[in-house]
Structure 1
Amino acid sequence: MSSPSFDPHATTVHAQCLCGAVQLDAKLPSLWLSHCHCQRCQRAHGSAFVTWVGLEAAHCEVRDPQGFLRWYLAETQAERGFCTHCGSTLFFRSPRWPGELHVVVANLTTRLDRAPQVHTHWETHVDWCAIDPNDGLPRRRSEDA
């Protein structure tokens, strides 16, 4: 994607895993866009933080013709969807947010309708990754997420 990475007039979004076996097409508008700094996301993605977009699940079409999509059920009853062929983590869903599908923004191939809005789980952000203190985004703790 070229800069800016969002287009307020976008009406659809496409995502796929690294190998392309699992794909998603969704209707916009998105519900929110957030940088998550929780330790579960850090470990699941091997990254300092993960940027997620919240979408209405009813507006999402997931295609997995080869059956590579699997869901890891965490102790919190949340599930992380990943491709068993290439290992890409793609999705998150939880009873805490019924009717939503959360999609990893790094897997998008098209622009979203909004820019990031917040850093969540800020109390567990890592100090080895520099984050612009003047990015204008609020930093929320876990209990506020």
Structure 2
Amino acid sequence: MPKQAAKQDTEPYYGQCQCGAVKFCITPPTSFCSHCHCYYCQQSHGAAFVTWVGSYEDKVDIQVSTNAKVQWYQSSEFSQRGFCSNCGSRMFFKSSMCLGELHVARALIAGDIDRQPEQHDFYDQNPKWSIAKDHLPAVMTTDEALARYKQIPNGK
């Protein structure tokens, strides 16, 4: 299956939470786009996996209306997850394991971005009822590509 072409421009990418109280703008290029199947993402989003877009924190401008805020939940010793205090949309992930990065939930970004999903991370934690049948590589918890996250307990 041929890889889909990605958006090739320098225009920013916009997104928001469900109620619109938290909006963001990402200045490209992004760092990555991947499907995360870790237990933390499953528990936080109530889904088999979350598609994250990685960027540097200084490339993401977050604007919050006066009646809401980005609430940060400490999901592990090393990581936090940001959500809208109004509607509860799970929006962001950051970790001391990847300082300076901010991961943004792909589903909240309107339209195309500069890349398509590139892989399935922590695929060995994927629930048995969900099977990815695509051309993307499945990266396991023990893979060196995920080495920086090895200190985080698997969350189960």
User: Under a length normalisation based on structure 2, what TM-score does the superposition of the two structures give?
Assistant: 0.84
Q: C-alpha deviations, 1:43-71, integer Å up to 9, x for none?
A: 10000100000011111100012232100
More displaced stretch, 9-18 vs 107-116: 9-18
Residues 12 and 42 of structure 1: CA distance in aligned 2, closer, same or farther (over 3 Å): same
Deviation larger for 107-116 or 123-132: 123-132
- Aligned partner of 2:53: which letter? V
Please give the secondary structure, in 2, of the residue aligned with 1:96.
Answer: helix
Residue 71 of structure 1 is matched in structure 2 by: 72
User: Who is 2:34 aligned against?
Assistant: 34
Tell me how large the CA RMSD over aligned residues is: 1.6
Q: Distance in 1 between matches of 2:106 and 2:48?
A: 14
Return the offset for 1:129. Answer: 2.2
- Please state whether the residue corresponding to 2:33 is helix, strand or coil: strand
State the percentage of identical aligned residues: 36
The C-alpha deviation readout for 1:118-138, integer Å capped at 9, x for no partner, is 100011111212321xx2211
CA contact (8 A) 1:119 1:137 kept: yes
- Show structure 2 runs of 5+ residues with no match: 147-156
- The residue identity in structure 2 corresponding to 1:84 is S
CA 106–100 in structure 1, closer or farther in 2 if over 3 Å, else same = same
**Alpha-carbon offset, residue 76 of structure 1:** 2.6
Partner Cα distance (2:142, 2:79) in 1: 17
* Alignment of structure 1 residues 1-145 onto 2, 5 Å: 6-66=6-66, 67-132=68-133, 135-144=134-143, 145=146
The alignment partner of 2:7 has SS state of coil
SS at match of 2:142: helix
Runs (4 or more) in structure 1 with deviation over 3 Å come to none
On the 8 A contact 1:15/1:110 being kept in 2, the answer is: no
Q: Unmatched 5+ residue regions in structure 1?
A: none
